[in-house]
Structure 1
Amino acid sequence: MAAGATPARHRPGSVGEVIELHALTKRYGPTTAVDDLTLTVRPGHVTGFLGPNGAGKSTTLRMILGLTRPTGGTVTVAGVRFVDRPRGLRHAGALLDAGDVHGGRSAAAHLTALARGNGIGRARVDEVLREVGLAGVARRRIGGFSLGMRQRLGIAAALLGDPPVLLFDEPFNGLDPEGVRWVRDLFRRLAGEGRTVFVSSHLMSEMENCADRLVVIGRGRLIAEQSLAEFAGTRTSVAVRTPEAAALTAVLAAEGGSAHPDDAGGLVVTGLTAERIGDLALAHRIALHELTTRTASLEEAFMELTAASVEYPGGKTR
């Protein structure tokens, strides 16, 4: 199902709204879901929100929107608690759970009810249905929608108030390849208009394709907050092939490097640049057959950084 070409409107003066969390904490009895979390999500970027299962991502999004009350700390959207805004959809739109809709209503009826409660005109319902590609099924009951169609309906609801701040939790679930590309392009366009776009997803490939900033948490604590390029770029290694692996490993260790065998019979070296490795090999008359600098993928960098924060690590396969 192709999305319509009608772009979301953008109101002058709606740029520049930030999401600010300060020492945000949520406990459920003895369990701390979010732990002293402080960060700022700024406009003009698609900010990816990453973390292992159980890291506290969904709880954080719910606290931003006032659906879950913090145990401690504060969270504001453009300097104001979201719950203090009488017509919230004009300030922030969100897709948290595509299945959290009344299956007996039509798509048009669902959006019309939301529009009426937020002082939004009926014409806007038709606009967002066209934009997400659901205009042709607007009168169908949501109970008959596929997961991908429900995701599109949730995105339509988030866009309904033409808000400057948008939050999405796992928005790619259930979408076909065309739908994934459409959502990716939509997020980039919204950020390009100066909006604040905050996206939680476990699909590393999609975050790598659409996010330009990342926030990573583990066990409720902030692990990283930086650009995508900085996040992956600081985790580099050098692939080396040599017939004298043992000798080179000893030389590199003496210079502060670390070399480990890879599955292809070569070495993976960290702690030294390719140039320095080449110079050391030449000085010690060690032949090299390959010397390649390698930047970690987002998935590899994420797995490395969050290894200690995984709540339910998988077992080893024998």
Structure 2
Amino acid sequence: MIEVSELTKRYGRTTAVDSLSFSAGAGEVTGFLGPNGAGKSTTLRMMLGLCEPSGGTVTVGGCAFRERRRGLRHVGALLDAGQVHPGRSAGAHLHALARSNRIGRKRVASVLEEVGLAEVAGRRAGGFSLGMRQRLGIAGALLGDPPVLLFDEPLNGLDPQGVLWVRSLFRRLAGEGRVVLVSSHLMAEMEHTADRLVVIGRGRLIAQESVAEFAARAAGAGVSVRTSDAVDARVLAGVLTAEGASVREVGGAGLRVTGISADRIAQLAFAHGLLLGELTTHAASLEQAFLQLTADSVEYPTGAP
């Protein structure tokens, strides 16, 4: 479990992370999203003890990462695929990491095979493409077989096959009961990969919920409901409002509902003996929801097209 509590980071007069609190649990992929300059990379660096918080705390598995003697056995991370000495081979790079954490040579061979770099293990990293460097960074994150994994923009430079492989890898790692936190700007991939989202803007929390719940908050999303008559519609509107949904009347017996799933609407209607003649979900993409709900948090907005 990753626990972030009131985490704050200031650089002079600039507040990069502002009283941020969220958690990421085991067994699911958590997408960590936000516009450029939102504070995502700074937050990840504080998780790993690479920069000191101005306030608040962040723990991984119940304690600060700096307290771990063999860090790679507890947390694996890819923050910057370019942070590899260009004159060092892929194999040498991973062997150095392994020795510093008392990890055997067989594990190095295993992760090189897993990321598809076994045949180029002797090549210098300086000659690698961006996609190959990403694979090497992922190998480094996997090296200690850790229960917690952090990835910052892991899909940059990968071809379509590589993107599919990474998607499958993240799902498998989460299925094994690990914590997987992924920061990415590729909304379509997060829509297919993440179970839950943590969305921040200007260093503050905007949302912490499932992908479906976040997308449902976008304008245009929601559920159309039609009951047998206007009386039942008013009754159902009251029931749904009590559940925290937003309800708008559409005609005599129709409702437009946001903030609650179609399945839950059906359950509540059944529980109150209300007959439904229509129950239609109007989905919004994760990208649409992200653009709408983070619009006020964009640091350098562009002009209208």
Output the TM-score relative to the length of structure 2.
0.82
- Give distance in 2, aligned partners of 1:293 and 1:80: 43
CA 1:40–1:272 in structure 2 vs 1: closer, same or farther (change >3 Å)?
closer
For residues 313 and 280 of structure 1, what CA distance do their matches in structure 2 show? 42
Q: Is 2:286 aligned against 1:294?
A: no
For residue 85 of structure 2, what is the aligned residue in structure 1? 102
Structure-2 change in CA distance of 1:131 and 1:279 (3 Å): same
Report how far residue 272 of structure 1 moved: 5.3
Q: Is the 8 A contact 1:237 1:293 kept in 2?
A: no
Residue 61 in 1 paired to residue 44 in 2?
A: yes
Asked if 2 retains the 8 angstrom alpha-carbon contact of 1:115 and 1:122, the reply is yes
Match of 1:158 in 2: 141
From 124, 141, 150, the equivalent of 2:124 is 141
Contact 1:236-1:294 within 8 A present in 2 as well: no
Matched-pair contact (CA < 8 Å) for 1:236–1:293: no
User: Distance in 1 between the 2:200 and 2:130 partners?
Assistant: 27
Matched, 1:230 2:213: yes
SS at structure 1 position matched to 2:294: helix
Where structure 2 has 5 or more consecutive residues not aligned to the other structure, the ranges are: 223-245, 255-278
Aligned length: 259
Q: What is the letter of the counterpart of residue 182 of structure 2?
A: V
For structure 1, the residue ranges without an aligned partner over 5 or more in a row are 1-17, 240-270, 282-290
- 3-state DSSP class of the match of 1:175? coil
In the other structure, the counterpart of 1:124 is 107
Q: Deviations over 1:247-297 (max 9, x none)?
A: xxxxxxxxxxxxxxxxxxxxxxxx756xx425479xxxxxxxxx9752211
Answer yes or no: is the 8 Å Cα contact 2:72–2:141 preserved in 1. Answer: yes
CA distance in 2, matches of 1:316, 1:186: 38
Amino acid at match of 1:175: L
C-alpha separation in 1, matches of 2:68 and 2:39: 25
For residues 153 and 141 of structure 1, the distance between their equivalents in structure 2, rounded to whole angstroms, comes to 11
Q: Corresponding residue for 2:226? A: none
**2:173 counterpart residue number:** 190
Task: Please tell me whether the aligned partners of residues 221 and 284 of structure 2 are also in contact (alpha carbons under 8 angstroms).
Answer: no
Distance in 1 (CA, whole Å) between partners of 2:215 and 2:251 is: 24
Secondary structure at the aligned position of 1:186 is classed as helix
SS of the equivalent of 1:73 reads: strand
Q: Which of residues 272, 277, 282 is equivalent to 2:250?
A: 277
Contact 1:44–1:195, Cα closer than 8 Å, also in 2 = yes
Q: Which SS does the other structure have where 1:48 is aligned? A: strand
Equivalent-residue separation in structure 2 for 1:68 and 1:84 (angstroms):
15
Asked whether 1:309 is paired with 2:292, we answer no
**Percent identical residues:** 71
Aligned 1:235-254 pairs, distance under 5 A: 235=218, 237=220
Q: Is the 8 A contact 2:76 2:140 kept in 1?
A: yes
Shift of 1:236: 5.5
- Determine the C-alpha separation between the residues in 2 that align with 1:102 and 1:236: 47
Q: Structure 2: which amino acid aligns with 1:310?
A: V
The reply on whether 1:42 has 2:25 as its aligned counterpart is: yes
The superposition leaves residues 224-243 of structure 1 with CA deviations (integer Å, 9 ceiling, x where unpaired) of 0001111112336379xxxx
Does structure 1 conserve the Cα–Cα contact (< 8 Å) formed by 2:218 and 2:293? no
The RMSD of aligned alpha carbons is 1.8
For 1:190, what is the secondary structure of its paired residue?
helix
Moved over 2 A (4+): 233-239, 276-281, 291-294
Q: Are 1:211 and 2:194 counterparts?
A: yes
TM-score with structure 1 setting the length? 0.78
Q: Secondary structure of the equivalent of 1:83?
A: helix
The equivalent residue for 1:256 is none
Residue 60 of structure 1: SS of its match in structure 2?
A: helix
Deviation digits for residues 9-57 of structure 1 (CA, Å, limit 9, x no counterpart): xxxxxxxxx1111110000000000000111111001000000000000
Task: Select which of 44, 57, 80 maps to 2:63.
Answer: 80
